[in-house]
Chain A
Amino acid sequence: MSFLQPWMLIALPLIAAPVIIHLVNQRRFQTVPWAAMMFLLQASKMSSGYSKLRQWLILALRTLAVAALILFTARPLASGLLGLLGNRTDEVAIVLVDRSPSMQQTQPGTGMTKQQSALMQLSSTLATLGVKRVAVFDSYGEKPIELETPEDIATNVGLLPNGATSDLPGLMERALVYIKSNQLASTDVWICSDMRESDWKSRDGRWVAAREGFLNLAQDVRFHILDLSSGSGDNLAIRIVNAKRVEEPSGPELSISFKLQRGSNNRSSEKNEADTIAASGPSIQVPVQIEVGSVRSVLPVDLQSGLAEVNDYRIPLLVEGPAKENDSRESQAGWGALRIPADTNLADNTSYFVFEKPAIRRSIIVSSNPTLIEAIELCTNISPEQSIRVATETVTSSQLDSVDWNAISLVIWHEQLPTDRSLELLANFVSSGGQVLFLPPESPNTTQAFGFQWTTWETVQPTPSDTQPQPLDEPTNEDSQAALLARVQQWRNDSTILSNTLNGAALPVGQIGIKRICRVEGNGTALASINDTTPFLLKMDAAESDTSNAGPNQGVYVCTTTPAQSDSTLAKDGVVMYVAIQRVLAAGAERVGFSKMRTVGESDRKQLELATQEVGDSTVFSNNYVEHTGVYRTPDLLIAQNRTADEDNNAFVQESSMAELFGSLPWSRIESGANANSLVQEIWKWFVIAMLLALVIEAALCIPKRRGASRPLGLTQPT
């Protein structure tokens, strides 16, 4: 329990007043000589335990009445929540709202979603606490939504649910900036969230910065986390994994793969395996409605152990005549949606997709080294799938103007680093999502581009750990040389380019032998290294490279050696090179497609403001399309936006992580009850009632007994 006017508690010592008065009164006795002592002695002997109890009761009730009066004037609040406020109320409160799809789960018994419930509770709580203004931060918009009254929190249209995963560390940083810029005094920051790891990103480095920033503030800032993790676990979620148009002899077909899973929206389910199994629920059949354009069909899917995956489910596409090469992309594209019946969370019951006839993955190789070109062409010209067409063109840097850049996905550059016009063309290409892989020229100059420059070639000496075991039969000369090559010792399998294969196996990057490398000066992230000082493959950081090249799909890779036999065994052990180039090519192909499947938040807000909504929440304004799931059509793109995959990941932030995130900052977590209207309630009336009751009982105990019956006969004369 805490108080809105805690300074009134300084009067608490007054509860001793009745006791003191009692003691003083006892000391102020009068001394009387008395004759009828025999009656007094008899009366005192008759004094019962009840009489003493009554006396103590009266004293206790008087004390209670005074205490209740003081507590009443201090305006007590129910719930331990306000303990965390430390009896402080501020004029301005900052609220960080998690509006992610998982917050749209309906709270049992209320009919309200977690977000609605939290905002209502917060609205009532802040109003009770006397907060005048509220600054609400959500994952979109640099500026907070500033509300004149706390009551507006529950009704503000800007706080309607969206499909984006929240970015709590980002919100923390923005709250910090807001406090600094507005020079707020002591502030309470309220965080409404269901504690999903996907929203909290507890491993994000920004937490450290935010925490340090808050700690360095002169103001006293406290955090109150409104924990909405509890709730029903009965929720199904559907997610499109892949949707593509496949050209079959019988006509075009839509191949879709999707995943259906029973989500656990209850934090308790992470506690042990038994809970997890229980959360998986019984095997059921879920009717999945597949909507392609205006055509709908239902596919019953058996859900076992809480999970069902459907791969390559084919649906014939109704097209007028066979597809032709010169058909427009728009005419070959389409959209659809997967829907499941309504459950406790409507936000994850629909997944949207778009498809089109796959575009040709075009690569250009800028090189004059025929041997090298041959090896690279082998990688770019072999399609990983039959339905995907690939094409490679070899040009020199002087021919770049003639290239149709809009159709290119990947540029492999094996010449001196681009300058002037070449650099401009390449920078535009990269900023629009194109991928570039730089290979070192034989005689590098001092040209700098994309934040780096080549320096000098040097031979790499193998370390003892690089030595390959010799074969048991007669070793060839080549084997002996391979055994003496330096190897890639470490690589990041969490990077797109060198990540593990679909079955989880690592790429054989460690088998690549390196004879010599060309040193690089510049800042980039080493994706693979021969040793700590010798990188093999780097990805240039957009922020560190030329700012003109910075873009959302920055994809500039630098390999410090070439596939030439004199430099490495990249061509000989071609698996790694092939996979890496195909992956970069696939990433670059994204820019040339008409249909895009993106997660909420990936798109550019301005780009989507001009879009029309094909399907989705029709109440959403166009300037908020970027925050909501659906299918949107722009003049250039057909975009399906879905919630992030992390939303279906039922991991919650651990207790230990929470303590680590906030460190020594004052914070507390409040379990939000579904049925509570407010997190706090003024309970002064209970103290008034207690005081009145105490006074009434005290008065009743103090009323002297009727003396009529027990009064002496007085002067009545005996007859």
Chain B
Amino acid sequence: MQGSVSGRHASPHRGSSVEFAEYRKYVPGDDLRRLDWRAFGRTDRYYVKEFEADTNLRCCVVLDTSGSMAYASKNQMSKIDYGRRIAASLAYLAAQQGDAVGLACVANKLVQNIPPRRSAAHLKVMLDTLEQTQPKGETQLPAILDELAETIRQRALIVVISDFFVEPALLKNSFEHLRFRKHDVAAFHLLDTQELEFSFQRPVRFNDMEGGTHLFVEPSEIADRYHRALQTYLIDMQRIVLESSVDYHRVTTSEAYEHPLMRFLVRRTQSRGVR
């Protein structure tokens, strides 16, 4: 992680810290203070000892606040609430370890954009914003991700929390755009159990939560084809995140939100990104 100050995240730059990185042959111009005399005594060669440089984290949480995020099946948390919790938890953790954290609420436009900051007061602003934001409108996630890729100048961890009900091909472009700008991208794909199961029995009139359209269907007639379309979509999503090196987490809202969060943090720890 590149940061402007010393922090708790590994930096791509070598620096002075207690974390040994590697040995390197001495070249003229190197700081003689970094010469490892013990190694010279053993091998009669000049080596420079390099250490990991620690830096701070810039984290930008992108929360999808389109109308579809309001969906909640019976006795389950809505996707927006679920996303709020994950976003808030991440913001809190970042703030606690002195990282800068920002929030972008996305619907058919960039509804809210709070740039990453490290102050404690900033966390409160973020939490208030998360509380007040309401799901509404269509999703323009790919376009806004493209926009964020251009506007976030420093390298950052972009955490996208969304149901990703958009064309996977468009999403792939946006992810690759973010990756091209050297951002680290993580994605929480929120899905409701009912959206996966599609276990309706009686004829249902489905009203689109992101628009005025509606569809009258006999669930038993269409369930099979619904599942096929969903499966195709999920396979495409898997392929896209692999190709785009996105840290992808598929989450159902019936699951406790700590679990996906834990998986996310553990995986980042294993990749030595976080101590």
Contacts and interface: CB of A to CB of B under 8 A. Distances in A.
Contact of A47 (B203, B222, B251, B263): B222
B192 interface: yes
A718 B250 contact: yes
A36 interface: yes
A707 B205 contact: no
B203 A25 contact: yes
A34 B223 contact: no
A34 B229 contact: no
A713 B163 contact: no
Interface in B165-195: 165, 192, 195
A43 B163 contact: no
Contact of B224 (A29, A38, A705, A713): A705
A710 B227 contact: yes
B188 to A, nearest CB: 12
Interface residues of A, number: 35
B203 A28 contact: yes
Nearest to B263: A717
B204 A44 contact: no
B228 A718 contact: no
Contacts of B249: 717
Contacts of B217: 40, 43-44
A471 B224 CA distance: 116
A38 B165 contact: yes
B205 A35 contact: no
Nearest to A39: B229
B150 interface: no
Given A28-B202, A29-B202, A39-B230, A55 B235 contact: no
Contacts of A710: 224, 227-228, 231
Contacts of A716: 250
A715 B205 contact: no
A36 B204 contact: no
B250 A30 contact: no
A714 B248 CA distance: 14
A475 interface: no
Interface stretch (B50-58, B87-95, B122-130, B207-215): B207-215
Given A715-B250, A717-B249, A718-B238, A40 B206 contact: yes
B225 A47 contact: yes
B79 interface: yes
A714 B230 CA distance: 10
B202 A30 contact: yes
Contacts of A28: 202-203
B224 A707 contact: yes
A704 B223 contact: yes
B104 to A, nearest CB: 21
Nearest to A55: B221
Contacts of A43: 217, 222, 225-226, 228-229
B69 interface: yes
Given A32-B200, A43-B229, A37 B221 contact: no
A35 B196 CA distance: 11
Given A28-B202, A46-B229, A35 B209 contact: yes
B160 interface: no
Contact of A29 (B205, B223, B233): B205
Interface string A14-53: 0000000000011011111111111111111011000100
Contacts of B215: 37, 40-41, 44
Contacts of B220: 704
Interface in A672-717: 704-705, 707, 710-717
B252 interface: yes
A713 B235 contact: yes
A154 B252 CA distance: 82
A40 B250 contact: no
Given A43-B226, A46-B228, A714-B196, A25 B202 contact: yes
Nearest to A25: B203
B19 interface: no
Interface string A442-480: 000000000000000000000000000000000000000
A40 B217 CA distance: 9
Interface string B222-259: 11111111110111011001100000111110010000
Nearest to A702: B220
A34 B206 contact: yes
Contact of B233 (A26, A39, A55, A714): A39
B208 A32 contact: no
B217 to A, nearest CB: 7
A662 B137 CA distance: 85
Nearest to A52: B221
B71 interface: yes
Contact of B231 (A55, A704, A712): A712
Contact of B221 (A25, A47, A714, A715): A47
Contacts of A26: 203, 218
A432 B116 CA distance: 144
Contacts of A713: 231, 234-235, 238
Contact of B248 (A44, A704, A712, A718): A718
Contacts of B68: 35-37
Given A36-B68, A36-B230, A714-B196, A704 B205 contact: no
A37 B249 CA distance: 22
A275 B252 CA distance: 89
B250 A32 contact: no
Contacts of B238: 713, 718
Nearest to A711: B227
A36 B251 CA distance: 15
A705 B226 CA distance: 13
Residue from A25, A43, A711, A716 whose CB has the most chain B CB atoms within 10 Å? A43
Given A40-B222, A704-B220, A34 B227 contact: no
A551 to B, nearest CB: 91
Contact of A32 (B165, B205, B231, B248): B205
Nearest to B216: A29
B161 to A, nearest CB: 15
A33 B196 contact: no
A35 B227 contact: no
B63 to A, nearest CB: 15
B138 to A, nearest CB: 11
20 contacts: A25-B203, A28-B203, A34-B209, A35-B70, A35-B195, A35-B210, A36-B163, A40-B217, A40-B226, A43-B222, A44-B217, A46-B228, A55-B218, A707-B223, A707-B224, A712-B230, A716-B250, A718-B238, A718-B241, A718-B242
Given A707-B223, A717-B250, 4 more contacts: A36-B71, A42-B226, A43-B217, A714-B252
Interface of B: 67-71, 79, 163, 165, 192, 195-196, 200, 202-211, 213, 215-218, 220-231, 233-235, 237-238, 241-242, 248-252, 255, 263
Return the 4 tightest CB-CB contacts between A and B, nearest first.
Answer: A35-B68, A43-B225, A35-B71, A34-B206
